[in-house]
Structure 1
């Protein structure tokens, strides 16, 4: 091998050896380098993915947040100030002349004060404890919100909070305590709005005015720093010292737990939790450098227990029928009004679960929204009626030893306004409201609105029409075979006039008229559907039974008085009402009573009925009301009184309802156990009513309009009729025999149509034997009169 070849060979071997050596010597650094490059690439990829994921999450989160707050109204500055500044205020009930009737105590009780009426120590203590960044943040702290949301979603950081004082104010005043992302999102948006519109001090003051602070030394729930200062330490909020301020500032976190008082107003045996909380607040103030070390030590060692107020009794307002009746009516109005605003139908509201919900909401409004309820009650008249029943209610007792109760209502005929009422003889011993809530059988007091009023209105009879009053028995139902009679009348065995039947309140004629009307109209609910329903009488199948015209259906005193108001008001029903208007705390009228007149009876019918019911009072066959009143107050007795009595079987119930052209006054009397009263209940009721009317007259003599008179309407048809038959005068024929009708004519009042031609069976009701008896009796009477005249 030559040198050149050998050299080439050696070079190849050398290169091969070098290459192998190089790879061997550089194996470690190379692998590390590759690994680092891989890790770097992975990290870069992870960062990119994380960034993209974050951006996606941010976009999704922003979109979701926008969805949550979509539709949230943006209040104006004035609206926001009003919302966050509104506090619960006591509502008031007023008499018609705006005198205060009662205050509906708010729960919790509170008093709104201005910023300069709050001790600076309280504000500093609250901020240091509840929101140390209050003066720096714009209403929310983003990292705190995120921390709180994470806590809600995954449990991380749960309990770490997240609400600023501004957000807490929004939650208390504008939103609810509902736990949901939507509420939280709305809270954030509104908190930012608040910070734009209100100063920090305004926000802080609003918070201190609305927040709950536990209980005071009377055991009452309190809210607002002023009530807390007075109810716990007996000083105004502006006069609170440092330790007192720290104690109060610590209360809102858990008011009842930290309160030093029980629900009776007594100091807790152990109120150390409140004291510990006070020390925490002081430490927060020291930590935030709001107070010095010396101030901290002095305040912590201060004997705060000596400042706690001793227990005091609550001054309880004595309430009675007036308060509860008006309060409940106001609750009903507010509840129905809110349901209507929410689009709830009458049918849905009639469901117990729906109405109950709205009634509870209305109670909260009444307690907390400073409503002013203007009632229709005349204070002087109401007080006079209470004095009347206290002094003369004893006249109702029947000697049995059991109290005979009563319910009375005084109503304006033109409007339905209720001037006053009597709930019972004595509220302290009987809380049953017999004027509005108790429903009892109406007895004969129902006849004018159920029987005679509708029949006259339909043109079925006039004031002098004749109606059978012969002994009879019920024909149908469980009473079949039982005698149909009055307590004092089993049938006069004649045909009575409409006027006599009403004045004597006989049951058999009322039965015949009612059955005749229902038969001709083809419905046993005709009178209810066309008359009573329009006056808000209760629906009942009992309106169609045989005994209905005798007053077997239960009604309230208010309902009956309202029915007679209709007749006294030209047949126009105006629903009785107790509340004229309701205004809110700003003076805005949120409810106003609106008259809704309903023409139930024609004007002619109403005027005829008043003419007939005048006979009830003047003829005194069923009530001595007028002569008793004349002996007590003669000028008042000269008023044009009309009315009707009513008595149920065995004297279980007694009614007297009277009207003048201006007012209607009615009373029910009876026993709460439904047992019978002794005979003479009608006279006892008349005596009580006469004294009651006199008491009212003493405080308001003009209300009875004693110079006004009920007049017959111009469209009343006044027709000359035979006094014997109540039909047009003239001879009659029966079975080929012509009868000479006994002489005598009178004027009959008709609201519609008029009397028919004379006939043998002229009346309403009656059978052949009864007509024969009537004709024979009257002919014998006429013959005897003629004979006596000849003898003379």
Structure 2
């Protein structure tokens, strides 16, 4: 049987088969080509992103923030201890050899100083040797140490108080590659990326090793990200855990590795890596972390301290050495073992390092330097007064108004007095909180600012954001409004301090004096000195609630004010900084200037940045301001603040006003000398009654501050338009020319008989009211949630 002949494929069938394969190949080729082209174009886009952000961020220099320079001149009040303390804050070295700038020594009543050169906004100060003689708390002689020539004025270089990025809430300590200690670099690579100098941005072997370990464990136990990938994630990407994000991270890491050297990438990583949180401030970079955790520069760290910084990298929250010291120690010791395994250190060094304590220092690298509350104000005023695009410039130098000596004295007063007030009321230590603002009268500069009893805390700033009822601290505004009408009111105008009943919306409002008594008819100045509620209400209704509210606006209040009679007794809620603005205007004789914390901002080339103009304008007559100041002196001499007479030096004349709110929830004292305005608030964050009045609470802190800082007594010199006249048994009552006549001095005003009762004051039609003691404000939590509208309108968001 003949076997069958095999069938041969016809040429047409072979051509059809080849055509199918060719079409398939073409399709695949086109798909690959398209994908490659798309991937390439996407790579071009990512490359542009990598370059623009990396170039901008790796060398970005923070703005340096300086305190005011200390000015020395003959006649300036200054003790030798205070001068030495200032030099030490400036990091001057005490040494017998004064050959180097930034050194000093003491010789009896003289202090010899080799100053540092420094360039200010108005010129440069050269290095020089000076001799300063101090006797009885005053600089009595100052001359050049080289040629003995008398010197009129010397400015010491200002203290660097912070390094910040003005447009966001961070500060950095920027390091270059040569500033990274070899021990840190070796430890970092041994723990995080041993093949850093060999791979191309991603490490395939590490990926395979991690995949195997994770597969065997059934969960993620090991990561494979290189330092380059971690840098990409910190610089450009989110923290989401998706394959898409990981793929993008790997692609950008390869591009970054292709564009820049390993040392450039390592340096950027060391400055960018996230190492913890301090309130609202993120701790980025090993330089800042070293100061934050150990209060030391990076090159001064010991082996266990370096190991701890690298250990924290794995989880800054989980291994926070302040919150979780045991876990941090365990992780640190694991890093030390890895250091020994990879021969970064010896086994003996490792054992010694593991037995060392963590060495964490409280207050290290405090937020925004040593003065976090003040720096918060600086940030807000930068945004208020300068263009955002200018603030993005690198290397800005910001000269502020902070006086480190006054700030230190204010902080000391707060930290000394608050525990005493806690104990006085039987409270647990730390129950009472406070805020304080110190300004200069003549220039409207904020010299010191305390946002709470913990002066190192960078969180909720009560001086800027605690909006509390001001109570009787509002009363000088009522009297100033009246005295601005000299044809109607003078200091001796009789005011009825008697009960008043007003029916408001069906409810009866019957305010009372604090002592629950009435005092007949009293002269206007005494009504303020004694803080009589009923007299103030009667006066306020005479001048008009609307006029008082308008006066608040003229003095500097920008918050909306509810125009009701209760406003006259303090139902207005303000933060301390805004009340300081009100008193600043009164103290400055009726001239209002927005309080400022910044003197000048220079760019990297030393040129001043343009700022929005801040005009000083007269908003109240100088006569009315002077008469109100005179009446406020009587608050201290014979009114609610007489405690100050035993606290302050006899020759220091001051003026001020106490403030107490409903159920003693808030205690205020605001006042001034000739050149200093100080406002203090004391209360509880939970807004509960605390049992302290303005005179038993805030006044005590205020007195401690004023007794310690350098200030001058109020002067008796009056404006030319003010005349002194004899009235009511006194020969020195000031009056504005053309003042209202004085028929008597009231039942308590002097030898004259009491005036007959005046007609019952009435509300204008449609006017409403609130209870005499203002309703308690909403609770202010220990976080900046309910921020004062003043701060957003006046200081920027």
TM (norm. structure 1) is: 0.56
- Of 28, 33, 39, which residue of structure 2 is paired with 1:50? 28
Following the alignment from structure 1 to structure 2, what is the Cα–Cα distance between the partners of residues 300 and 636? 64
Distance (whole Å) between structure 1 residues aligned to residue 344 and residue 673 of structure 2: 75
Instruction: Please point out which of 633, 636, 642 is paired with 1:624.
Output: 642
- 1:114 equivalent to 2:127? Answer no
Superimposed CA distance per residue, residues 467-512 of structure 1 (whole angstroms, 9 cap, x where no aligned partner)? 44163322124873736445275132x4x54344434544333222
Q: Deviations over 1:194-223 (max 9, x none)?
A: 745x444444555567667999xxxx9997
Question: The residue matched to 1:480 in structure 2 has which SS?
Answer: strand
* Contact 1:438 1:556 (C-alpha < 8 Å) held by counterparts: yes
Shift of 1:646: 4.8
CA change 1:454–1:80 in 2 (3 A) is: same
- Summarize deviations over 1:675-711 as a string: whole Å, max 9, x none: 5569xx8599878765653333xxx3xx3266x5553
Query: Is the Cα contact below 8 Å between 1:212 and 1:255 reproduced in 2?
Result: no
Aligned residue in 2 for 1:527: 548
Q: How far has the Cα of 1:371 moved from its partner?
A: 11
Cα deviation per residue 1:144-194 (whole Å; 9 max; x = unaligned)? 99xxxxxxxxxxxx9999988656544444555566969977985796477
1:544 to 555, 564, 570: 564
Question: Which residue is equivalent to 2:17?
Answer: 39
Give the aligned partner of residue 650 of structure 2.
634
**Equivalent residues in 2 for 1:21-170, closer than 5 Å:** 28=6, 30-31=8-9, 35-59=13-37, 61-62=39-40, 69=46, 72=49, 75=52, 80=54, 83-84=57-58, 98-99=158-159, 113-114=177-178, 118=182, 130=195, 134=199, 169-170=231-232
**Which has the higher Rg, Structure 1 or Structure 2?**
1
SS at match of 1:661: coil
Q: Which residue number in structure 2 is paired with residue 695 of structure 1? A: 708
2:729 aligned with 1:704: no
Q: How far apart in 1 are the matches of 2:23 and 2:69?
A: 81
Rounded Cα–Cα distance in structure 2 between residues aligned with 1:239 and 1:684: 45
Distance, in Å, in 1 between the alignment partners of 2:453 and 2:354 is 42
Matches within 5 A, 1:488-527: 489-492=517-520, 494=521, 496-518=522-544, 526-527=547-548
Q: Name the counterpart of 2:375.
A: 330
How far does residue 567 in structure 1 lie from its aligned partner after superposition?
0.5
Within 5 Å, give how 1:420-435 maps onto structure 2: 420=448
- Match of 2:438, SS? strand
Provide the residue aligned with 2:357 in structure 1: 312
- Where structure 1 has 5 or more consecutive residues not aligned to the other structure, the ranges are 1-23, 146-157, 283-297, 345-364, 519-523, 725-743, 759-767, 774-792
C-alpha distance in structure 2 between counterparts of 1:397 and 1:118, whole Å? 50
Equivalent residue for 1:453, pick from 470, 475, 480: 480
SS of equivalent residue, structure 1 residue 48: helix
SS state of the match for residue 624, structure 1? coil
Q: Kindly indicate whether the alpha-carbon contact (under 8 Å) linking 2:50 and 2:255 is maintained by their aligned counterparts in 1.
A: no
What does 1:309-708 correspond to in 2, within 5 Å? 309-317=354-362, 326-328=371-373, 330-331=375-376, 334=379, 376-385=401-410, 409-420=437-448, 442-449=470-477, 451-457=478-484, 461-463=488-490, 466-469=493-496, 471-477=498-504, 480=508, 482=510, 484-485=512-513, 487=515, 489-492=517-520, 494=521, 496-518=522-544, 526-529=547-550, 531-532=552-553, 535-536=556-557, 539=560, 541=562, 543-545=563-565, 547-555=566-574, 557-576=576-595, 597=616, 599-617=618-636, 620-624=638-642, 628=646, 633-637=649-653, 641-646=654-659, 656-667=669-680, 674=689, 676=691, 682=695, 692-696=705-709, 700=710, 703-704=711-712, 708=715
Shift of 1:636: 2.8
Alpha carbons of structure 1 residues 467 and 304: separation in structure 2 relative to 1, 3 Å:
closer
1:320 and 1:223 mapped to 2: Cα distance?
13
Measured after TM superposition, the shift of residue 44 of structure 1 is 2.6
Q: Is the 8 A contact 2:401 2:446 kept in 1?
A: yes
The whole-number CA distance in structure 1 between the counterparts of 2:420 and 2:312 is: 59
Listed as ranges, the gaps of 5+ residues in structure 2 are 71-157, 208-219, 744-754, 761-797
Q: Does the 8 Å CA contact 1:108/1:223 hold for their aligned counterparts?
A: yes
CA contact (8 A) 1:583 1:589 kept: yes
Q: Tell whether the 8 Å contact from 2:495 to 2:524 is kept in structure 1 after alignment.
A: no
- So what's the TM-score if we normalise by structure 2? 0.55
1:749 matched residue in structure 2: 736
Cα separation, 1, equivalents of 2:288 and 2:624: 64
The answer (yes or no) to whether the contact 2:228–2:253 under 8 Å persists in 1 is no
Query: For residues 99-147 of structure 1, what are the alpha-carbon distances to aligned partners after superposition, in whole Å with 9 as ceiling and x for unaligned?
Result: 477999999999765299548978997999546864xx6x7999x99xx
By percentage of residues, which structure has more helix?
1
Q: Distance in 2 between matches of 1:182 and 1:31?
A: 52
Q: Would the alpha carbon gap of residues 114 and 63 (structure 1) be closer, same or farther in structure 2, given more than 3 Å must change?
A: closer
Counterpart position of 2:148: none
Quote the residue 1:355 is aligned against.
none
Structure-2 residue corresponding to 1:770: 757
Change (3 A) 1:457 1:259: closer
Is the 2:513–2:533 contact (alpha carbons within 8 Å) kept by the matching residues of 1? Answer: yes
Deviation, 1:312, is: 1.3
In 2 relative to 1, CA 342–649 (structure 1 residues): closer, same or farther, beyond 3 Å?
closer
Question: 2:652 is paired with a residue of what secondary structure?
Answer: helix
Give a deviation string over 1:575-598, Cα, whole Å, max 9, x none: 556676899999999999985646
Q: Provide the C-alpha distance between the structure 1 equivalents of 2:528 and 2:585, rounded to a whole number of angstroms.
A: 18
Contact residue 442 and residue 554 of structure 1 kept, 8 A: yes
Deviations 1:418-463 (A, max 9, x none): 43467889989xx9998667666544432211x1223344677332
Pairs aligned (count): 618
Question: 1:516 Cα deviation (Å)?
Answer: 2.8
- Name the CA shift for 1:379/1:704 in 2 (closer, same or farther; >3 Å): same
